[in-house]
């Protein structure tokens, strides 16, 4: 299959549940993406399955032990002949954006490492992790939801996964802009009607309206997205009018 994602987590069922639905579920069904999970508890050194311990230096909470994580990562690596890039999900990582997703999506294999508790032993990060990734400046109680965010964002970029081949390229942020509004039937919903141009059949006019909407919303809601990047000539012309 074209892409393989291995997830190291103490909650494998949580991750596999999510992977059953929607675009990701379909991609797995069709063999376009392969998702596997590895539980560090299965690699614990004692018979209780201990994966965490008290922090050196004291303080609240627990720290994930290096050895069970290392063993789980080893098994994941060996499950496939191809080399894998190891990503640790953490708020200390580089913040993810669509460009970052596109970069991650170029790798055939990723191992996504999910932490729980206060964090994982720094020596495991030094020894095994290639890259630390954050999904945003807020703290979650584990790396599982962030890992699923990364899985979803990557899988939908695999060629053939989205129904319409251009869907990924037309997505919000792929164009560098926020999306335009969408409408479907009925034409009148409790007195709110669909913009006339969308029912005109004039494809050129529809395209221009959508671009104007996308530019206008980006300008109003996320102006920094416009100042941070070069617009296409067609977009700049509309903005200059």
Residue numbers in the known binding site for S-adenosyl-L-methionine are: 115, 135-140
Buried b (16+ CB within 10 A) or exposed e, 39-78: bbbebbeeeeeebbeeeeeeeeeebbbbebbbbbbebbbe
Q: In what order do the strands lie in the sheet with 109-114?
A: 33-38, 3-8, 109-114, 85-95, 131-134
By CB under 6 A, is residue 91 in contact with ligand ADE?
yes
Establish how many alpha carbons lie within 13 A of residue 84's alpha carbon, considering only the half-sphere containing its beta carbon.
Answer: 24
CB 9 within 8 A of CB 143: yes
Q: Residue 213 CB: number of other CB atoms within 10 A?
A: 16
Q: How many residues bind ligand ADE (CB under 6 A)?
A: 11
By CB under 6 A, is residue 90 in contact with ligand ADE?
yes
CB 84 within 8 A of CB 29: no
By CB under 6 A, is residue 111 in contact with ligand ADE?
no
Give me the residues paired with residue 134 across strands: 95
70 included as an active-site residue:
no
CB 135 within 8 A of CB 146: yes
DSSP structure class, residue 19:
T
Closer residue to ligand ADE in complex, CB, 15/177: 15
Question: In angstroms, what is the minimal distance from the CB of 38 to ligand ADE?
Answer: 18
77 included as an active-site residue:
no
Question: In angstroms, what is the minimal distance from the CB of 97 to ligand ADE?
Answer: 13
Question: In angstroms, what is the minimal distance from the CB of 6 to ligand ADE?
Answer: 17
- Which of these segments, 17-25, 135-143, 158-166, 221-229, binds ligand ADE (CB under 6 A)? 135-143
Token pair for 101: 């997703």
Tell me which of 136, 181, 195, 223 binds ligand ADE, using CB under 6 A: 136
- Which of these segments, 15-23, 86-94, 165-173, 200-208, binds ligand ADE (CB under 6 A)? 86-94
CB 92 within 8 A of CB 134: yes
Closer residue to ligand ADE in complex, CB, 135/162: 135
Classified as helix, coil or strand, 182 is coil
By CB under 6 A, is residue 100 in contact with ligand ADE?
no
Closer residue to ligand ADE in complex, CB, 118/187: 118
Binding region for ligand ADE (CB under 6 A): 89-91, 134-136, 138-140, 143, 146
Active-site annotation, residues = 91, 118, 156, 171
């Amino acid at each position: 299959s074209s892409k393989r994602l291995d997830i190291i987590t103490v909650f494998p069922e949580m991750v596999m549940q999510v992977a059953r639905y929607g675009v990701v579920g379909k991609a797995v069904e069709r063999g376009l993406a392969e998702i596997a999970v590895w539980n560090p508890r299965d690699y614990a050194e004692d018979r209780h399955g201990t994966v965490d311990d008290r922090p050196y230096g004291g303080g609240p909470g627990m720290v994930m032990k290096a050895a069970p994580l290392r063993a789980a990562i080893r098994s994941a690596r060996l499950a496939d002949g191809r080399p894998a890039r190891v990503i640790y999900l953490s708020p200390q990582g580089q913040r993810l954006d669509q460009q970052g997703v596109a970069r991650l999506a170029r790798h055939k294999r990723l191992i996504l490492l999910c932490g729980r508790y206060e964090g994982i032993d720094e020596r495991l990060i030094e020894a095994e992790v290639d890259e630390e990734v954050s999904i945003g400046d807020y703290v979650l109680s584990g790396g599982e939801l962030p890992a699923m965010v990364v899985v979803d964002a990557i899988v939908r970029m695999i060629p053939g996964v989205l129904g319409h081949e251009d869907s990924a390229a037309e997505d919000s942020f792929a164009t560098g802009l926020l999306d335009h509004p969408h409408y479907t039937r009925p034409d009148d919903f409790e007195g709110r009607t669909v913009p006339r141009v969308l029912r005109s059949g004039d494809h050129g006019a529809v395209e221009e309206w959508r671009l104007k909407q996308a530019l206008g919303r980006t300008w109003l809601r996320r102006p920094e997205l416009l100042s941070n990047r070069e617009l296409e000539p067609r977009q700049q012309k509309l903005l200059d009018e």
